[in-house]
Structure 1
Amino acid sequence: MATRIRPSSKRCAVIGGSGFLGRHLVERLVDKGYTVNVFDIRQAYELPGTTFHQGDLCDKEALLVALKEVSVVFHCASPAPGSDDRALFERKLILTSSASVVFEGNDIKNGKEDLPYAKKPIDYYTETKIQQEKLVLEACSKEKGLLTVAIRPHGIFGPRDPQLVPILVDTARRGKMKFIIGDGSNLVDFTYVENVVHGHILAAEHLKADSPLCSQAYHITNDEPVPFWDFMSQILVGLGYSAPRYHLPYSLVYGIALLLWAIALLLRPLVHFKPTFSPMRVALAGTHHYYSCARAKKDIGYRPLVSLKEGVARTVESYSHLRKGPELKAE
């Protein structure tokens, strides 16, 4: 997120405002009295207090129109994580960062923001997040009036999420959510989308030339690390599906994923196939990765607005249309 200082102004722009996080952010900003310019490649909704600007992020002229006379810019545009199109990520400027910038597939427990960037990013998504965070934080210039800060959420979930819940339900319906990778004790941060929005707005409101936020990164999570498979089970059971119950050794699954990845790489010139379980997905499901919010608490007064329990309940309720029906009765 980057902002040009104009303390009295409440006009802002949200780039990627039609997306999952972006739309939640727009709605909250309007609730707080902001006038919002929304810039995205598609218009997904209409909302009083917003002006929609449609265009490609790489079209400088179209983007400048959306940024005219705004004092705060939130950059939330991003291709979906997991895409294997490197060029798609390299042509995007992504200024909502991610805690994954320090994750290499090994355990991280209560990780601080000063952890080094991953030398071997787990995917293109993470690789480009690292690149954009470095560029944005290095661009901070109090003399030029451009102040920058990076927000690092982790495991965003909530209503209208196009990724986690729909994919989880689809996998369960195909009978492929029966196994737990590892012993199931690995703790992970999941963050309700309203808390991520809250962290962004707090950062914008505290970002001043004399504040400690300038050129810093901040972890924003629910601050409630939970066993990865417990969280997945809560979503599944809440929608009427069976929780995974059979354990597979982490090292075995990771080794198979590596082998399949290598085979896919070798065969790519002849045939393209994408293994269901990549080494990255196995690592995310089987290792500890949770992060400290101490810096955000100290510098911007961050506290989650919605507990993990309440966030899961709201999410399950919002996906009632994906609930298991009588014809799909569990075994």
Structure 2
Amino acid sequence: MEKTPQKDRKPFTFFKHEHKPVEQKPESSKQKWKKVSDKTVITGGAGYFGYTLGCTLAKLGTEVILYDVNLPLWEIPNGVLLIQADVRDFEKLYEACEGADCVIHTAAYGMTGIEQVRTKEIRSTNVGGTGVVLEVCKQRSIPRLIYTSSVNVVFAGQTIIDGDEATVPYFPLDKHVSEYSRTKSIAEQMVLAANGTPLAGGGVLYTCALRPPGIYGPEEQRHLPRLALNIQRGLFAFRIGDPKAVMNWVHVKNLVRAHILAAEALTEEKNYIAGGQAYFINDGEKFNLFDWLDPLFEGLGVRKPWLRAPICLVHLSAVVLENVYKALKPIVEVTPLITRSEVYNMTCTYTLKIDKARAHLGYSPKKYTFASCVDHYLKKHPPQRNFFLLKCFLVMFFLISLIVVIVKFPELLKLLMPILEEYRGISLFSSET
């Protein structure tokens, strides 16, 4: 992506945003969506969530601009315009935002796949791109900015049980093992710190951030396809971590609902209640990942794993694979089979309450099933052939890479020793009871 000159702006400072009192409101099972914007620009609009949100807003009568460096996989409906450009390009984003009264900033880089280890690109897009979005909002006098953040701004492997926005602080930036999570945290704090900023043409900028966990839905492209492929490859031959570990996910339609409500909550009609606030958004349910994946195992015709591998073994593999990538990067880019961040997301308990979103936004998630998403996916992607040869190759590649890395980088042993010491005495495999 090309770099574009940007206007000078003052550096931001980190802060702990204030928490408005949470008062429970009665839920309505028949929430009606209404038009909350005349023109909305969605950065990252070619992605699954951004596209779904844009289509929903268009049906409500909003003029929608999907702004993304990529093209969407789906047809652009009436009332929606796609502008293919980089979120770091000030001039193009400035032009796209003419006449907009709301920006929803979903663009990000580095969540999954090979992107996870391209640290310079991650920082440039997630932090630099957010700076451009803020500057455009100020110069274009756009009064509302909603940032699609992540639960990873507060979570990085520690246990969280029914946490909320007031009691779960930002995870220390220097402790994050994922550049994606670190930069999402920085970007969120930039956006919330900008709440109340004067606009060039008069008025004030109101901002808020929504923190979803993993997103699922019938056309989701990041998590479900990768999970299905790795199950077929045999990488889920063992359950990982504590079988009692639970987490939250969010259906794309519930996340869309939350963003529409947030846009309304940044208006005078709602007394700008969401201004400067962050909200956890999920389905309001918690489950064990492997139990939740039952429909996918069944649909793929793969036996559900019953043996459990300890976290130490998986974590150690992730550390080695990340270092293998770094060693090979000057020659070739290799996608890590698993990263430390992914290990944490699969094996740790982290559940977050949505009471604040219910009270401030009127958010009431509807119930959806993962099984229906699996059925939809398998109709378009029938189970593939057995990956026996690929499994053998991956095992050989891992062992050879481990030897090469340790020989070439003996200091890596010093890095691994604390991990081995921490898990000393734990058997490599144990069966569930």
Q: TM-score, normalised by structure 2?
A: 0.68
Please give the per-residue CA displacement for 1:237-271, whole angstroms capped at 9, x wherever unaligned.
Answer: 23443322221122333244335545655676687
State the shift of 1:283 in Å.
Answer: 1.5
For 1:50-129, list aligned pairs within 5 A. Answer: 50-82=80-112, 83-92=116-125, 93=129, 95-114=147-166, 115-119=168-172, 120-129=175-184
- Compare 287-296 and 89-98 and name the one that shifted more: 89-98
Q: Distance in 1 between matches of 2:371 and 2:360?
A: 28
| Correspondence for 2:59 | 31
State the shift of 1:134 in Å.
Answer: 0.7
Q: Is the 8 A contact 1:186 1:286 kept in 2?
A: yes
Please give the per-residue CA displacement for 1:109-166, whole angstroms capped at 9, x wherever unaligned.
Answer: 1121232211112311101101100100000116542000001010111122222111
Counterpart of 2:359 in structure 1: which amino acid? Answer: K
| Correspondence for 2:24 | none
Q: Distance in 2 between matches of 1:208 and 1:21?
A: 23
For residue 226 of structure 1, give the secondary structure of its aligned residue in structure 2: coil
In structure 2, the CA distance between the partners of 1:183 and 1:59, relative to structure 1 (3 Å rule), is closer
| Correspondence for 2:267 | 208
- Compare 244-253 and 149-158 and name the one that shifted more: 244-253
- Compare 316-325 and 66-75 and name the one that shifted more: 316-325
In structure 2, the CA distance between the partners of 1:34 and 1:277, relative to structure 1 (3 Å rule), is same
Q: Is the 8 A contact 1:233 1:244 kept in 2?
A: no
- Compare 42-51 and 124-133 and name the one that shifted more: 42-51
In structure 2, the CA distance between the partners of 1:255 and 1:85, relative to structure 1 (3 Å rule), is closer
Q: Distance in 2 between matches of 1:30 and 1:77?
A: 19
Question: Does the alignment pair 1:11 with 2:39?
Answer: yes
| Correspondence for 2:354 | 293
Percent of counterpart pairs with the same letter?
A: 28
| Correspondence for 1:168 | 227
Q: Distance in 2 between matches of 1:16 and 1:159?
A: 19
Q: Distance in 2 between matches of 1:42 and 1:274?
A: 20
| Correspondence for 1:43 | 71
For residue 161 of structure 2, give the secondary structure of its aligned residue in structure 1: strand
Q: Is the 8 A contact 1:191 1:308 kept in 2?
A: no
Q: Distance in 2 between matches of 1:172 and 1:138?
A: 42
- Compare 244-253 and 57-66 and name the one that shifted more: 244-253
For 1:186-197, list aligned pairs within 5 A. Answer: 186-197=245-256
**Alignment partner for residue 194 of structure 2, among 124, 129, 139?**
139
For residue 147 of structure 1, give the secondary structure of its aligned residue in structure 2: strand
**Aligned length in residues:** 320
Counterpart of 1:97 in structure 2: which amino acid? Answer: S
Q: Distance in 2 between matches of 1:122 and 1:223?
A: 27
**Alignment partner for residue 345 of structure 2, among 284, 290, 296?**
284
Question: Does the alignment pair 1:183 with 2:242?
Answer: yes
In structure 2, the CA distance between the partners of 1:267 and 1:70, relative to structure 1 (3 Å rule), is closer
Max radius of gyration: which structure? 2
Q: Is the 8 A contact 1:103 1:122 kept in 2?
A: no
The unaligned stretches of length 5 or more in structure 1 are 1-6
Please give the per-residue CA displacement for 1:200-249, whole angstroms capped at 9, x wherever unaligned.
Answer: 11100111353331111001101101111111223232344332222112
Please give the per-residue CA displacement for 1:53-111, whole angstroms capped at 9, x wherever unaligned.
Answer: 22121221111121110111111111241421122122223531001100121111112
Counterpart of 1:133 in structure 2: which amino acid? Answer: E
In structure 2, the CA distance between the partners of 1:158 and 1:239, relative to structure 1 (3 Å rule), is farther
The unaligned stretches of length 5 or more in structure 2 are 1-34, 131-146, 388-433
Counterpart of 2:186 in structure 1: which amino acid? Answer: Q
State the shift of 1:9 in Å.
Answer: 4.8
Q: Distance in 2 between matches of 1:20 and 1:298?
A: 27
Q: Distance in 2 between matches of 1:65 and 1:316?
A: 41
Q: Is the 8 A contact 2:255 2:281 kept in 1?
A: yes
Q: Distance in 2 between matches of 1:8 and 1:279?
A: 40
Q: Is the 8 A contact 1:14 1:74 kept in 2?
A: yes
Q: Distance in 1 between matches of 2:60 and 2:296?
A: 31
Q: Distance in 1 between matches of 2:374 and 2:53?
A: 17
Counterpart of 1:137 in structure 2: which amino acid? Answer: L
**Alignment partner for residue 315 of structure 2, among 238, 254, 263?**
254
Q: Distance in 2 between matches of 1:10 and 1:124?
A: 36
Q: Is the 8 A contact 2:299 2:378 kept in 1?
A: no
State the shift of 1:14 in Å.
Answer: 1.1
- Compare 231-240 and 71-80 and name the one that shifted more: 231-240
- Compare 180-189 and 275-284 and name the one that shifted more: 275-284
Q: Is the 8 A contact 2:206 2:272 kept in 1?
A: no
In structure 2, the CA distance between the partners of 1:267 and 1:26, relative to structure 1 (3 Å rule), is closer
State the shift of 1:171 in Å.
Answer: 1.3
